[in-house]
Copies of this chain bind each other. A is one copy, B any other.
Amino acid sequence: MGKHCQWRERLQKKGYRLTIPREVIIEVLRNSTSHLSAEDIYMELHKKYPAIGLTTIYRTLELLVQMKIIVKFDFGDRRSRYELSEKYGMKKHHHHLICSQCTKIIDYTDFINEELELIEKTEKRLMKKYNFSITSHVISFTGICLECKKDQT
């Protein structure tokens, strides 16, 4: 229950079928807390569904991105990573802290109010000034995480 089920209707309304691969790929994304790559998903599924091929994973992810059911990220490790979008998953909108040493990624959602207000204000200003319809934003901070700091003697 809740909106996290509506992706099915959304697909069907556009004439797409509900298939096992689509079901299971979304399920994997829902049950994961991290940012999965196509291959991560493939390996996770392969245990229970050895028939599902990597090509299908890629195709499905592409479709889901296009339908805005999931979001595609590029964290600089040369492979795309995916998250359920806020609307269809349980995760709240968040920003990222990326460790440039170990590539670990911390999601943070505990914005202060000013932060949200300012982003909104900035988006409005930019839309007007550049005649640009903003649909989403990505904010990430890069640096060195605690563990990596310790490691470097």
- Measured CB to CB, the residues of A under 8 A from B are 72, 74-76, 97, 99-100, 106, 108, 110, 112, 114-115, 118, 121-123, 125-127, 129-146, 149
Chain copies in the assembled complex: 2
B115 near A122 with CB under 8 A, answer yes
Q: How far is the CA of A123 from the CA of B106 in the complex (A)?
A: 14
User: What are 23 of the A-B contact pairs (CB < 8 Å)?
Assistant: A74-B74, A74-B75, A97-B126, A97-B132, A99-B132, A106-B130, A110-B129, A114-B121, A115-B122, A118-B118, A123-B141, A131-B145, A132-B144, A132-B145, A132-B146, A133-B149, A134-B141, A135-B142, A135-B144, A136-B141, A136-B142, A138-B138, A138-B140
Contacts of A114 in B (CB 8 A): 118, 121
State whether B136 touches A143 (Cβ < 8 A): yes
Query: Roughly how many angstroms separate A99 CA and B137 CA in the complex, as a whole number?
Result: 12
Cα distance A144–B112 in the bound complex, in angstroms: 28
Residues of B within 8 A of A127 (CB): 143
